[in-house]
Amino acid sequence: MSHKICRVVSFEKVAPFTLRVRFDDDTVQVIDFRTVLAGELYGPLQDASLFDQVRIDPEVHTLVWPNGADFDPAILHDWPESGEALKGLAKNWTSPHPETQRASR
């Protein structure tokens, strides 16, 4: 099984938590990330000021955030399929927010 090599070349914010992402093969995905912003790594991105600090990593050519969150560029490239799978996984990720953790104790 081979892993597709995709590179993010540009992006623009088109709505809250939604980016239009262009790849090196000239394809474009408009991705609404809200359904996968959960868990320890992606949950903090629910804060719009953190989410909006997204940039393209010059080495791995994918979207990255200051808290270390990133997505495999192949997942972004194939978002209609992979995003649905990730959305299902995100339902099982725990919240990083302390008030949520306290309430569940």
40 in a structural domain: yes
What domain count does the chain have? 1
- Global pTM value: 0.83
Nearest 5°: the CA angle 72, 69, 21 is: 50
Give the bridge partners for 12, in sequence order.
20
Confidence of residue 83 (pLDDT cuts 50, 70, 90): confident
Residue 86 has a pLDDT of 85
User: What is the domain range of residue 47?
Assistant: 8-103
Residue 36 has a pLDDT of 94
94 in a structural domain: yes
Supply the CATH number for residue 19's domain. 3.30.2020.10
89 in a structural domain: yes
Residue 102 has a pLDDT of 37
